[in-house]
Chains A and B, each alone.
Chain A
Amino acid sequence: DTAVSQTPKYLVTQMGNDKSIKCEQNLGHDTMYWYKQDSKKFLKIMFSYNNKELIINETVPNRFSPKSPDKAHLNLHINSLELGDSAVYFCASSSDELSGGRNTEAFFGQGTRLTVV
């Protein structure tokens, strides 16, 4: 009965390939996120979507393209993968992050470990 689920959990691929990571949440939340955790363990936001609309885009290369078909799904597509893209990618969701929901908790998926070789 996973709240935020990501697939796949592990992804090994060659440089130059295109790959997608899927994320689904069953919490009824309005806001979903993609985070990247690098080798130093810092989690950094990449994108945030609220009701299928992009609200935060943190200077991510345009090889990364999020797609939100509905508010329960936020998929991440990566084109022309590079060695530096190797990291753990986390999807998260929270209820409405507008001013009325400032203290809402963010729920994270288990992460997708991407290794580019």
Chain B
Amino acid sequence: KNQVEQSPQSLIILEGKNCTLQCNYTVSPFSNLRWYKQDTGRGPVSLTIMTFSENTKSNGRYTATLDADTKQSSLHITASQLSDSASYICVVSQLTTGGYNKLIFGAGTRLAVHP
């Protein structure tokens, strides 16, 4: 079954601290892996996209890693800010028989950054 599982479900950290969110997937055939940030009441916004051959990708204070062998990814947030409070969603793209990408979403990790 094609699934994307994230941990932890929720996380509270103090402003300025670092944190790492985890994503495990069983999606096949794999096309790419994306991390999205979803603020409350808003649509998801893309942070990173990684293909099979990419191990790491950074976007400002966000760094994503991918181990395609173990089918695991992580999102590391450095020097957290209050505005980082959001849900972070791991999304794995499955290549369909028609050659199109089908996005399979994890449930997200809800991050709360406290002052």
Q: What is the number of contacts between chain A and chain B, taking CB atoms within 8 Å?
A: 56
The segment from B15-23, B44-52, B64-72, B77-85 found at the interface with A is B44-52
- Complex Cα–Cα for A110 and B108 (A): 17
Query: Which of these, A41, A48, A105, A107, contacts B108 with CB under 8 Å?
Result: A41
Residue from A41, A45, A90 having most chain B Cβ neighbours under 10 A: A41
Is B103 located at the chain interface by the 8 A CB criterion?
Answer: yes
B87→A103 contact, CB < 8 A: no
Q: Is the CB of B105 within 8 A of A42?
A: yes
CB of A82, distance to nearest CB on chain B (Å): 23
Contact B105 A56 (CB under 8 A): no
Is B32 in contact with chain A by the CB < 8 A criterion? yes
- Alpha-carbon distance A98/B100, docked complex (angstroms): 5
State which residues 79-108 of A face B: CB under 8 Å.
90, 92, 97-99, 102-103, 105-108
A43-B44, A55-B100 known; A102+B105 contact, CB < 8 A: no
Q: A102-B31, A102-B93, A103-B32 are in contact. Are A108 and B43 (CB under 8 A)?
A: yes
Q: How far is the CB of A9 from chain B (nearest CB, A)?
A: 9
Contacts of B43 in A (CB 8 A): 4, 90, 92, 108-111
Q: A75 in the interface, Cβ–Cβ < 8 Å? A: no
Contacts A103-B32, A105-B49, A111-B43 known; A55 to B98 CB distance under 8 Å? Answer: yes
In contact, B87 and A56 (Cβ under 8 angstroms)? no
Looking at B43, B44, B45, B107, the one whose CB has the most chain A CB atoms below 10 A away is B43
16 A-B interface contacts by CB (under 8 A): A40-B107, A41-B87, A42-B106, A42-B107, A43-B103, A48-B100, A56-B102, A99-B99, A102-B51, A103-B49, A105-B34, A105-B46, A108-B45, A110-B42, A111-B41, A111-B43
Complex A-B, nearest 6 residue pairs according to Cβ-Cβ distance, in ascending order: A108-B43, A43-B105, A105-B46, A97-B100, A108-B44, A97-B101
